[in-house]
Chains A and B, each alone.
Chain A
Amino acid sequence: MVSVCFYFQVHQPYRLRKYGIFDIGNRRDYFSESGDNNLNNEKILRKVADKCYIPATKVLLEIIKENPGFRVSFSFSGIVLEQLESYAPEALDLFKQLVATGNVEILDETYYHSISFLYDKEEFKRQVEMHRKKIQEVFGVTPRVFRNTELIYNNELADFIDKMGYDGILAEGADHILGWKSPHYVYSPLNSSIGLLLKSYKLSDDIAFRFSNQGWQSWPLKAETYAHWLSSINGSGEVINLFMDYETFGEHQWSDTGIFEFMKALPGEFLKNPDNNFMTPSEVIKAYPKRGELDIHNFISWADIERDLSAWMGNTMQHSALKQIYELGKEITLTNDKKLIEDWRRLQTSDHFYYMCTKWFNDGDVHKYFNPYESPYDAFISYMNALQDLKLRVEEIVRVDDREKDLDNVVKEVRVK
């Protein structure tokens, strides 16, 4: 028996506008870039909805109609749901239809797609709770499995998630963690009984990265061939976790690469073997025994070849920006200013720090492709400027509060007299 477990990530950040040093103190609309550029959030969301979210979700709905045994899971960041509500409600309706089929599981994550777990665990918990609430509101379901931003994971996180009451958690099936072990079994985290599902990165990346690569020996990849590769895991594994960005379909791999036809044909091909089936993460955790305990002390993620945190925390600019945004936490939450707190949280989204990555900048690879700024330095400058403005706003509120307190005291004193 071998089960395929699909999980698709749906996320779009609120990209920060080009925010100059002279904007500090003068404008507060950090995420409002308009016009024809790559920082215009509405424009990008519309584009991705038209190229991916709408056509891909229609394909999934068709597949479920033809193959009632098909299963898939999703994780939506809270901020992509907000943007779908505002800019592409018809795409959100399709997602709701998909969830209503009952063949789909929704996972939990941080509302703001942040790496708050590394800096502020209380804030992390609040963002996960916000996310759970949002999923209940939008889809009417309560997630049982957790996936952290960019599949960032370690023992400590698993323990935290266990204590929050989840049944399972997802992580990258990184070679340096697994060694001789296979990602094709269910594991459990160190000293924990929840399920740990590991991404089968070779098979996942065949679709997510290599599908349209004409220099790849398996190009063009046929559904039949790929289904055969999946089937061949029978006997040496129990579950194949295919984890990828949902944008793979139509956005990273354009429609003309044949990605939609591939996906449409795959379930039928795979189910030709009666030993095969599809499962959601919760079903996998229930169906299969845990084959071992994994001790993962250092953080891993699904980014780059390093599979570590260096995409977000690799240079001084990133460290400094992260440190400063989280240092504001205590003071900002005390202000109770909803808009201010929301802006602070939107600035925690991991993408902002990814754009500052200088690691691969010369190679013009994926980092450049996914960076809407002209350079990591431009990304850093806009971010730090906006952060200075945010600090000014906090100071203003604190000052007003102090003045009010002073005034109260004066009034009290007068009364006493």
Chain B
Amino acid sequence: MFGWEFPPFNSGGLGTACQGLTRGLANKGVGVTFVLPRRVPLDVDYLKVIYGDDSVVKTEYVINSILMPYHNSKNYMESKENLGSSQEDIYADDLIEEVLRYGSVGGEIALREEFDVIHAHDWLSFPSGINAKKASGKPLVVHVHATEFDRTGGEGINQVVYDIEREGMTNADLVIAVSNYTKKIIVEKYGIVAEKVRVVHNSIDFENYTLERASKLSEANKVVLFLGRLTLQKGPDYFVEAARRVLEHYPDVIFIVAGSGDMEKQIINKVADMGISDRILFAGFLRGDDVKRAYQMADLYVMPSVSEPFGITPLESIINNTPVLISKQAGVSEVLNHCLKVDFWDVDEMSNKIVAFLRYPELYQCLNESGRREIEGWSWDQPAGKCLDIYNEVLGEKKLGW
């Protein structure tokens, strides 16, 4: 399995999903060798982890014919911007070069390791997956957690990234999409036949969460939380717009914006211009226990994503006893019923629901109770089981013994 990040060294849902999925597969007795591009001090016992930079790769292998035509400095910069600031911390240098370097070791690792199926997560690891397939002749499954269309909001698609994504999906034996929403993009924008795409919704290990309720920021003030990258994709601008409307009618609310990204300055300035800087607090990028604390501090978590392939954070929030308001466009909306839903662009309705939620305590009670009940049986064993079926499908006669 080729990944890009792994908790606690992750910047978003991709790492969380890889962790959950590999643990789920391990529970089903599947041995997973997980490849990461660079060495990080991970402590996992259910996985064999190997690192791309440990491989001794001769320079001639680095040259990849597929990617060469797009190899120019302008694209490097664009893609760096698309990635957001947090991931740059981990992979500081030129991203495309990093992806290509990682891709080139895929084949070498494939020849060295023993395995039956190759599973690659998102475009960053697709070149590795393709090379591994070429070297070993083993079937390739690519897992799409997000596309270039989600990351950019459909504007300013990076051609290099798009081509890598499409190349991966085309070379794959089967493609996994994290929602029907994403499947639709894969079929319509990447020209992949629908029969080749399987939907496997993400999940969450409900059992693994222990609850110690953190103290509220303030008993007097209600708290509404945004948590995610401050990029076009996540819709932070809609959040502050809704906040402004809410504050007009309900001045005692505090809005917390947690996350960083290329829209950070813009959003901070916007809030200052609106004159509500005292009501909207910026918490920066949070990780680990701080994320948990943020959920618990909040009365309501809002995820107004413009384009969200899945969105695990609402599930994390519900587990932390904080109900959620999500955009109907989010993939998680396909599997989560007990939450409030709006169209991300409908700021009026978003503010209407936020005020109603704060005003009628019955909503908190019912959403919290029913929301928790809805996901209490969920675990990563379910998506892992579906992945196993997909492995068996690509293996055909050569089914796995698990």
Contact = CB atoms under 8 A, between A and B. Distances in A.
Interface stretch (A221-229, A254-262, A312-320): A312-320
Nearest to B359: A21
Nearest to B358: A21
A219 interface: no
A102 interface: no
B337 A320 contact: no
Nearest to B323: A377
Interface stretch (B120-128, B198-206, B360-368): B360-368
Interface stretch (A48-56, A243-251, A325-333, A379-387): A379-387
A380 B352 contact: no
A37 to B, nearest CB: 14
A375 interface: yes
B352 A316 contact: no
A20 B362 CA distance: 17
Contacts of B356: 21, 381, 384-385
Interface residues of B, number: 23
A69 B356 CA distance: 56
A315 B366 contact: yes
B352 A375 contact: no
A370 interface: no
B138 interface: no
B371 to A, nearest CB: 10
A20 B352 contact: yes
A385 B357 CA distance: 11
Interface in B346-402: 348-349, 351-353, 355-356, 359-360, 362-363, 365-367, 369-370, 374
B249 A381 contact: no
Given A20-B349, A20-B352, A320 B362 contact: yes
A362 B353 CA distance: 21
A36 interface: no
A321 B360 CA distance: 10
Contacts of A288: none
Interface in A99-116: none
Nearest to A22: B352
B340 interface: yes
A306 B102 CA distance: 59
Given A377-B363, A380-B363, A362 B355 contact: no
Q: Is the interface of B mostly helix, strand, loop or mixed?
A: helix
Contact of A21 (B249, B337, B366, B370): B249
B338 interface: yes
A326 B261 CA distance: 51
Contacts of B352: 20-22, 381
A316 B366 contact: yes
Contacts of B143: none
A377 B355 contact: no
Interface string A283-320: 00000000000000000000000000000000111001
Contacts of B349: 20
A276 to B, nearest CB: 47
B338 A361 contact: yes
A361 B336 CA distance: 11
Nearest to A19: B352
B366 A375 contact: no
Nearest to A359: B370
A321 B369 CA distance: 18
B244 interface: no
B196 to A, nearest CB: 28
Contacts of B351: 21-22
B205 to A, nearest CB: 20
A358 B341 contact: no
A137 interface: no
A182 B355 CA distance: 52
Contacts of B341: 374-375
Contact of A381 (B337, B360, B369, B374): B360
Contacts of A380: 360, 362-363, 366
Interface in A51-69: none
Interface string A348-391: 00000000001001100000000000111110110011000000
A290 B352 CA distance: 56
A375 B371 CA distance: 13
B337 A317 contact: no
A362 B366 contact: no
A25 to B, nearest CB: 11
A410 B215 CA distance: 56
B348 A22 contact: yes
A376 B340 CA distance: 10
Nearest to B349: A20
Given A377-B340, A384-B356, A316 B365 contact: yes
Nearest to B250: A21
Interface in A1-51: 20-22
A317 B338 contact: no
B353 A381 contact: yes
Nearest to B360: A384
A320 B359 CA distance: 13
Which of B355, B360, B367 has the most C-beta atoms of chain A within 10 angstroms of its own C-beta? Answer: B360
A358 B359 contact: no
Interface in A260-286: none
Contacts of B340: 375, 377-378
A182 B362 CA distance: 41
Contacts of A315: 366, 369-370
A377 B359 contact: no
Interface in B4-43: none
Given A358-B338, A361-B338, A384-B360, A377 B366 contact: yes
A395 to B, nearest CB: 17
Q: Which of B249, B339, B359 has the most CB of A within 10 A?
A: B359
A324 to B, nearest CB: 10
Contacts of B348: 20, 22
Given A21-B359, A381-B356, A317 B366 contact: yes
Given A21-B352, A384-B356, 7 more contacts: A21-B359, A358-B366, A361-B370, A362-B337, A362-B338, A377-B367, A380-B366
Task: Please name the 10 residue pairs, one residue from A and one from B, whose CB atoms are nearest each other, closest first.
Answer: A20-B352, A381-B356, A21-B355, A317-B362, A316-B362, A320-B362, A316-B365, A358-B370, A21-B352, A317-B366
29 contacts: A20-B349, A20-B352, A21-B249, A21-B351, A21-B355, A21-B356, A22-B249, A316-B365, A317-B362, A317-B363, A317-B366, A320-B360, A358-B338, A358-B370, A361-B337, A361-B338, A361-B370, A362-B338, A362-B374, A375-B337, A377-B339, A378-B340, A380-B362, A380-B363, A380-B366, A381-B353, A381-B356, A381-B360, A385-B356
Interface of A: 20-22, 315-317, 320-321, 358, 361-362, 374-378, 380-381, 384-385
